[in-house]
Amino acid sequence: MLSISLKANNTNYCISVCYRVGTLGEQNLAEIDRHLRKVVSQKKFKAHFVIGDFKASLQ
């Protein structure tokens, strides 16, 4: 998980990228959730773009 902040014309944007292997389990999913909630709670971004592969395990 990686998030970067960009500023254009005095407006803040956040881009987050994630690659999640489906076999990493609930702990990994909880860590992604924690990270995204932390970014969103900052309230300084006009928009937040999330890009990635969020595979879920079929087990």
Residue 7 lies in a domain: yes
Cα separation of 29 and 1, whole Å? 11
Tell me the whole-structure pTM to 2 decimals. Answer: 0.72
- The domain in which residue 23 lies consists of 2-54
pLDDT digits (tens, 9 = 90+) for 27-42: 888 888 899 899 989 8
Per-residue pLDDT band at 26 (split at 50, 70, 90): confident
Q: 19-46 as b/e, with b when 16 or more CB fall inside 10 Å? A: ebeeeeeeeeeeebeeebeebeeeeebe
**Pick from 12, 59, 14, 9: which is nearest to 39 by CA?**
14
Q: Per the structure, how many domains does the chain have?
A: 1
In this structure, are residues 59 and 24 in contact, taking their beta carbons and an 8 Å threshold?
no
Res. 9: pLDDT tops 90: yes
Residue 39 inside a domain? The answer is yes
The answer to whether residue 59 sits within a structural domain is no
